[in-house]
Structure 1
Amino acid sequence: MKRRAVTSAMAWLLIIYILPLVGIIAYLSFGELHLGKRRAERARAMWPATARWLSDLKQSQHIFAHKNSDVARALFQLCEKRQGIAGVKGNQLQLLTSTEDTLKALVRDIQLARHNIEMVFYIWQPGGLADEVAESLMAAARRGVHCRLMLDSAGSVDFFRSTWPGMMRNAGIDIVESLKVSLLRVFLRRMDLRQHRKVVLIDNYVAYTGSMNMVDPRYFKQDAGVGQWVDLMARMEGPVATTMGIVYSCDWEIETGKRILPPPPDVNIMPFEQESGHTIQVIASGPGFPEDMIHQALLTAIYSAHEQLVMTTPYLVPSDDLLHAICTASLRGVDVSIIIPRYNDNLLVRWASRAFFSELLEAGVKIYQFEGGLLHTKSVLVDGQLSLVGTVNLDMRSLWLNFEITLVIDDDGFGSDLSRVQDDYIARSTLVDRIRWENRSWWRRVVERLFYFFSPLL
């Protein structure tokens, strides 16, 4: 009943025509974006209280940024217009490129927590350093810290089958299995709609987000043949934790029906002056949040590029609009690079993404295939100034379906840090040669086009 891209509609119609019974069942299960009646009602009911909270937050004018760089201005204006809140300034921001460093830093912050800890992850895989995080979280709960943990039912299936949920609940941790998967719910809610955010909030002041699930790469998907996963996380201190807290509270209320709006911001929430702090905007996407927000943000960022555009993603299945924007940027003289893993854990995406290579290469886009494992980092850097880091892949699922979160940072210092990380990825990658690519075997071309047919549904 809702207007969708013609390619997506035609793909569904053809599937239903070729396989009528299977196609109809698949469409009812995965074709429409429905959150479920109860969750949809909660999403509608939460907004009046959330709007009042945002209105109160706006009284703290000193935390909001009113000026942006030329390259970031359009994107920050879009976010403020659609989300009702401007970017916040005075944040301390640190990039963490090692999973071991990230998990050890997280354990230290949990040990220092005094009031509350909130977490949401798509995947929590027991084993290795992830167990140390679990132990520290239980210790925090036992000493009186209010701990809430929300994990996606499908992504964290191994966790929920282990003994950890029982031990954590016994320690006093509130655990929620988000978007439960079962045959009984298949026609009540879209089953492939997932909680894909990765967020940690500590004492409404320290925050983490990025591409990393709660896993130790040494113990995760070792038999997939793609190597260890390579991720990027951001650790933040400052008012951005407050804006991320409102996203978490909305997710919690949609899933449980319980309201946990974060407390009003402390007057001393911004210890870092504007000269030494970062300006950050938080984009939350998914059902119940501004529709098409992340897609519009990516398009705005790409069209803002004048000199250089570097993108990293594990899954490259862009919309036609995004593909056109990327190619147009290259054709108008922007130095465009896309870094993807050479080996991917998703067979459909692996082949479907290659169907876009020819058009990108013809436009002059440089495509790098990362050789050092499964590059899972999701990042965009525009002209060394505007950065996007978070959980969003360049595929249809992240753009229009899942619950995702992205940080938008307007700061050349952070841009330099992100550029060094991306340069390291490029140094460990192989550049796709256009001539060799055009001479690939015919059977590969056929397979690419067959999987490309399903790209609107991936």
Structure 2
Amino acid sequence: MLSLSDLPDLPAVPDTVKTTLSFAWTAYIAILAVWIVLQKRSPLSTLSWILSMAWLPVLGFGVYYFFGPQRMRRQRIKRIRSHANLYAKSDFANLRTLSDHAPQHLQQMGLLGHATCDIPVSTASDVRLLVGGAQTYNALFEAIRAARHHVHLEYYIFEPDKIGTALRDLLVEKARQGVKVRLLVDALGSKRLGKRFFAPLEAAGAGVGLFHDSRIGRRLRPVINFRTHRKIVVCDGEVGFTGGLNITDEEDERTRPDAYHDVHLRLEGNAVRWLQMVFMEDWVYATGERKRRTAEDFDKLLRPTVVGEHAVQIVASGPDSAYEAIHRMVLAAINGAVRRVWIATPYFVPGSPTLMALTSAALRGVDVRVMVPMRSDSRIVSAAARSYFDELIEAGAKVWEYEARMLHSKTMVFDDDCGVVGTANFDNRSFRLNYEICAFVYGPTLTVPLGAQFERDLRKSVRVEADRHLPAWQKLFDATARLFSPLL
């Protein structure tokens, strides 16, 4: 039997090679450290990334390359905004601001939203809460059928199933009637769509765009981690939709009794102009159509419409901005609430700022309620969410798990003054990494129906108790899942 002493000696590594490798290693770490430091993360996060790539160079670099960067430089959009005059200042006089009689913190929120995403408080002549797939899809199809000039759609998930095919066929019909149809879908979320599905649309003259094409050979780094999670539909610049529902049978209770439970929002009036603006920015960015159009064409699409009585602020955020507009608005709303903060979300993974805001609100006597699904479609996210329940409950907040179906609603109610419906989940990915959009409706217009719906959902939920007894393995799994919160 051979022993180690019987093995031949390995050739000595020349000093020049050692020096070269040492220099290359030092340069590698220095360059990566500069790259990571310039991302301006928290000190602990920055140090963790640097150490991970120093000790696991190949794996660490690969993970950071795809998932580490938090911001995108989308300077093209800024140039397009300026050239196309999307923010025609002369139109601001037609936009309503919050009344001087509105609570001071709401006025401050309006200013904050304007400062962080360049969208002021506007108005809507009609605000309608849509509950479930049947209501939402019926209203959506009705608005599209009535469109005369254009139909713009942007979705994270668009499936080639029953509802998706029906909507595709309706869009083909409208395009053949001369209505300008533009459909923008996220390349990853709608990965099941192929050329065969799009062919009838393109043959009818409709425009189809993929947001951050994730196919091999494309620019991979930004497309992996930065997705458009927005759901926007605009018909003739007069009727708009946004909210939690994608285009999929999984959200249509007419097709599936166990469909996701979700809500959407239908708007009419001037606020739709800002849904249009966000869509056009994303469309131009994804397709480059601006090169083939004039600024005047964009101005026509963004013309002011009916001034209504409901104060609405469209808030958009994404990795192309360092302001985290939706995140800041949610924090401002929680900190300004004096009576209630009711949150329904499918994915609850709060960061330190939002967790502290919620617990602080509960400690000062605000009625803080958080509703999440009992059976989530993401086991790791559900586990991470459970790891935060004790902190909330100990501070006086109440947590419910919706057990009827998979809860997919993304709604918030703050006092009787502000109701929110949008695409953002209550997690790091929505607040920092995804392109998201929410409608903040000031006054009782939305808080009344949202509050009533929240209470109806409570009757189908189970309250999480502070003294619940979880097995040791469950506690360990939940705590481990929490470690991945920044990526969830």
Is the shorter-chain TM-score for this pair beyond 0.5, marking a shared fold?
Answer: yes
Does the alignment pair 1:144 with 2:178? yes
Structure 2 equivalent of residue 191 of structure 1: 224
Question: Conserved in 2, the CA contact under 8 Å of 1:12 and 1:27?
Answer: yes
Q: Equivalent residue for 2:210?
A: 177
What letter matches 2:389 in structure 1?
A: F
| Distance across 2 between alignment mates of 1:52 and 1:190 | 26
Query: Following superposition of structure 1 onto structure 2, how do residues 303-318 of structure 1 map, counting pairs within 5 Å?
Result: 303-318=335-350
Residue 453 (structure 1) aligned with residue 448 (structure 2): no
Structure 2 counterparts to residues 242-253 of structure 1, below 5 A:
242-253=273-284
Within 1, Cα distance between the matches of 2:327 and 2:430?
Answer: 9
Equivalents in 1 of 2:116, 2:459: separation in Å?
Answer: 38
Aligned to 1:210, which of 224, 243, 248?
243
How many pairs were matched up? 443
Q: Give the letter for the 2:171 counterpart.
A: L
How is 1:58-69 mapped onto 2 (pairs within 5 angstroms)?
58-61=92-95, 63-67=96-100, 69=102
Q: How does 1:103-142 map to 2 (within 5 A)?
A: 103-142=137-176
Question: Cα distance 1:255–1:189, how it changes in 2: closer, same or farther (>3 A)?
Answer: same
Deviates more, 1:14-23 or 1:312-321: 14-23
Kept after mapping to 1: 8 A contact 2:311/2:441: yes
Question: What does residue 5 of structure 1 align with?
Answer: 42
- Which stretch has the larger CA shift, 400-409 or 48-57? 48-57
* Structure 1: 5+ residue stretches without partners: none
Residues 115 and 51 of structure 1, relative CA distance in 2, 3 Å threshold: closer
- C-alpha distance in structure 2 between counterparts of 1:394 and 1:256, whole Å: 30
Query: Where do 1:211-230 residues align within 5 Å?
Result: 211-217=244-250, 227-230=258-261
Instruction: Kindly state the Cα deviation for residue 216 of structure 1 after the two structures are TM-superposed.
Output: 2.1
When structure 1 is superposed on structure 2, of 289-298 and 302-311 the one drifting more is 289-298
2:275 paired with 1:241:
no
Q: Does structure 2 conserve the Cα–Cα contact (< 8 Å) formed by 1:65 and 1:86?
A: no
Residues of 1 paired with 2:231 and 2:124: CA distance? Answer: 23
Residues 144-188 of structure 1: CA distance to partner in whole angstroms, max 9, x if unpaired? Answer: 000000000010011236x32111111211000111113334655
Matched residue, 1:270: 306
Q: Letter of the aligned partner of 1:242 in structure 2?
A: R
Deviation at 1:280, TM superposition (A): 0.2
Query: In structure 2, how many angstroms separate the alpha carbons of the residues matched to 1:142 and 1:185?
Result: 32
Corresponding residue for residue 33 of structure 2: none
Farther-moved stretch of structure 1 (18-27 vs 307-316): 18-27
- Name the CA distance, whole Å, in 1 between partners of 2:101 and 2:118: 17
Q: 1:25 aligns with which of 62, 67, 78?
A: 62
Of the candidates 181, 192, 201, which is equivalent to residue 168 of structure 1?
201
The answer to whether the 8 A contact 1:107-1:132 is kept is: no
Q: What amino acid sits opposite 1:445 in the alignment?
A: K
Q: For 2:67 and 2:106, locate their aligned partners in 1 and report how far apart those are by CA, in whole Å.
A: 36
- Do structure 1's residue 297 and structure 2's residue 334 form an aligned pair? no
Change (3 A) 1:247 1:50: farther
Residue of 73, 98, 101 corresponding to 2:135: 101
**Contact 1:83–1:290 at 8 Å: present in 2 too?**
no
Task: Tell me the distance in 2 between the aligned counterparts of 1:10 and 1:372.
Answer: 43
Deviation at 1:82, TM superposition (A): 2.9
1:429 and 2:461 correspond: yes
What is the alpha-carbon distance in structure 2 between the residues aligned to residue 8 and residue 416 of structure 1? 41
What SS does the aligned partner of 1:405 have? strand
CA distance in 2, matches of 1:452, 1:97: 31
Asked whether the equivalents of residues 226 and 433 of structure 2 are also in contact (C-alpha less than 8 Å), the reply is yes
Letter of the aligned partner of 2:306 in structure 1? M
Deviation (angstroms), 1:340: 0.4
Larger Rg, first or second structure (1 or 2): 2
Partner amino acid for 1:113? A
2:298 maps to amino acid: L
Deviation at 1:341, TM superposition (A): 0.5
CA distance in 2, matches of 1:293, 1:245: 18
- In the TM superposition, residue 442 of structure 1 has moved relative to its aligned partner by 1.5
- Aligned to 2:230, the other structure's residue is in SS state coil
Give the letter for the 1:435 counterpart: D
User: Shift of residue 317 of structure 1?
Assistant: 0.8
More off after superposition, 366-375 vs 254-263: 254-263
Partner of 2:480, secondary structure, is helix
Q: Distance in 2 between matches of 1:41 and 1:245?
A: 20
Q: Is the 8 A contact 2:121 2:313 kept in 1?
A: yes
Instruction: Give distance in 1, aligned partners of 2:130 and 2:271.
Output: 17
Aligned counterpart in structure 2 of residue 45 of structure 1, from 79, 83, 103: 79
CA 1:13–1:433: 2 relative to 1, 3 Å:
farther
The one of 348, 354, 359 aligned to 2:391: 359
Counterpart amino acid of 1:412? Answer: P
Counterpart of 2:172, as a letter, is: M
Instruction: Quote the Cα distance in structure 1 between the aligned partners of 2:367 and 2:60.
Output: 42
1:371 equivalenced with 2:403 (yes/no) = yes
Could you tell me whether the CA contact under 8 Å between 2:182 and 2:207 is conserved in 1? yes
Q: Secondary structure at the match of 1:229?
A: coil
* Structure 1 position 290, deviation (Å): 5.9
Per-residue deviation, 1:279: 0.7
TM-score, normalization by structure 1: 0.90
Matched residues in 1 for 2:185 and 2:298: separation?
Answer: 19
State, as a whole percentage, how many aligned pairs show the same letter: 28
User: Equivalent of 2:451, from 397, 403, 419?
Assistant: 419
Alignment correspondent of 2:126: 92
Q: Distance in 2 between matches of 1:78 and 1:331?
A: 25
Task: Say yes or no: does 1:200 pair with 2:233.
Answer: yes
SS at match of 1:96: strand
How far did 1:129 drift?
A: 2.8
CA drift of 1:255 comes to: 1.3
Identify if the C-alpha distance between structure 1 residues 20 and 351 changes in structure 2 by more than 3 Å, giving closer, same or farther: farther
Q: Is the 8 A contact 1:7 1:456 kept in 2?
A: no
Q: What is the CA-CA distance between 1:126 and the residue it aligns to?
A: 2.0
Aligned counterparts of 2:50 and 2:475: Cα–Cα separation in 1: 24
SS in 2 for 1:243: helix
* Offset of residue 322 of structure 1: 0.4
Name whichever of 191-200 and 286-295 sits farther off: 286-295
Structure 2 unaligned blocks of 5 or more: 1-37, 291-296
Structure 1 letter corresponding to 2:108: A
Q: Distance in 2 between matches of 1:88 and 1:307?
A: 26
Is the aligned partner of 1:384 residue 2:416? yes
